[in-house]
Chain A
Amino acid sequence: MIITEKTRTGEYLSTVLKIILQRLALGLLTLFVVSILIFAAVNLLPGDFAQAILGQGATPEAVEAIRRDLGLDQPPITRYFQWLVGAVQGDLGNSFAQANFASFVGADSGNKASVAAQIAPRFWNTMFLAGVTALIAVPFSVLLGILAALYRNSAFDKFANMFTLSSISSPEFFLAYILILFLAVLNPVLPSLSNIYQGMGLGERLEKTLLPALTLTLVVTAHMMRMTRAAIINLLASPYIEMARLKGMSPMRVIVRHALPNALAPIINVVALNLAYLITGVVVVEVVFVYPGIGQLFVDSVKIRDIPVVQACCLIFAAAYILLNLTADIMSIVSNPRLRHPK
């Protein structure tokens, strides 16, 4: 008996491992395709880094000089493969803006020019914002979903649905400005500028991050809340729920103890997708609140056609989606005994 149990666990582990490896391999392929698409797209845009950075002062000689310095005079396919060879070895290349600056100074500015060094602090800022948002949004929307399921079709349920649906339907910058209006201008409780910087205390950092986090919360709540509500309501018709109710359990207890665990798989799926959105969808919110995250860097880099930085940002966005999707699948397998013990 014990032996069988062990074998089963082993089988289960190897199945999960196989899925993970398969998905990771597919993920790498996706990243490769994404990198080609982005590279092609940025190259199709009119203008290049040299023209963008020189602006009105662009003389043909200066444009030529910068292109030569950065290797932009080579055909796109050559440049792509040079980048790819570096990227495979973990070298994402040098930011054009920084490399151009280094050639200005006439000195090698060393690591500073590397894309990784430029993105790292911005990436952690974005992760911080995503983390704060997730801490607020996930419990809030699951709770809201449970309550909406509990009091379904009541005024509360309708209000919660209306509120979350209208906030997800509004553009992010609009939500951001509404929050600024109510929480920063009319009632000055929170700062409208989220200019966090290195060495800032955690308390102050949280205070400055709160408005963008609330904006993102409004954006992602609807999905998670409605999925929680739907998944629970779906189960409420099943016989075992009826049994629990017949035992005389309180409706809240029925939902939390009996319905919720079985509804977890779809909820986790939606939560993971929304977490991915928190990393990839922050661009507008970061720009509105002047939050120095990866989204703002991305916008700046597209503006000046800094291809290595754009590429790296896109890869990070794509990787976040792939990994969180993978996590969602693994979690739903783990939380579902039927998938955990395949026949």
Chain B
Amino acid sequence: MSRRRSRVVINGIGLLAAFFFAFPVYWMVNTAFKSPDQFQTYVPVFIPIPTLDNFTKALNQPHFFDFLRNSLFVSISTVLLALVVGFLAAVTLARVKFRGRRSFLLLVAVAQMAPFEALLIPMFLAIKDWGYNWVPTLIIVYFIFTLPFTIWSLRGFVAGIPVDLEEAAMVDGASRFGAFVRVTLPLLAPGLVATSIFCFITAWNEFLYAYTFMSETQNYTLPVWLVSFRTFLGTDWGATMAASTLFTLPVLIFFLVAQRRMVGGLTTGAVRG
């Protein structure tokens, strides 16, 4: 009986926490559906008389589909590149004892401290002769800045999986590699997902480098589109909020798709373990 009550209390707290995280987002979406005279009111309008004007305006911005294509290309490539390179390093760090391992870990830690905004100009000097106004340059930049974290994160996940499991599979006749692929990799799925979400969000949201390193409209990414509703005339908040709403959608979809894999990975792990 009391156990049931504490479950209700705990789930109640969970919903309260969900409210804390979701409310600002709800307010953004809510504003996106409002006409201007509805969003500047003293008594807030919680359920607007919806208008799609803001979305129409946001989507009709010239070159929207160029931005979308570039953003998807850059973000997905960053995720793949960081995962492949980071995974190799992470597995090595977690599973192999080699000389220089601590120094290498230290290097990863120091790379994590690289000041992102401050490196804009030096980075520009480094790329200006070959990478200016070239979309893949952005992949390289985001890759550099997400790699340290990717290694940290994946290394932790790999280390968290007991070696015994692999060794047990090897006793059953599997090769080291086969054991890794069949036993460890499925267990690693949640870790890969969590890490790729992080890389994706970082690349997807980045504005400073995307705007400075690209010079032509067809090479920009979506964050540049987000600020395009600000002109000398002021900012079109409705359109900005509509654009921001659309902008967060892919991340949410990515997460929901990944979430199923994550749960799948966890249950597989539970069955095998």
Q: Do A and B bind each other?
A: no
Which residues of A are at the interface with B, using a C-beta cutoff of 8 A?
A: none
Which residues of B are at the interface with A, using a C-beta cutoff of 8 A?
A: none
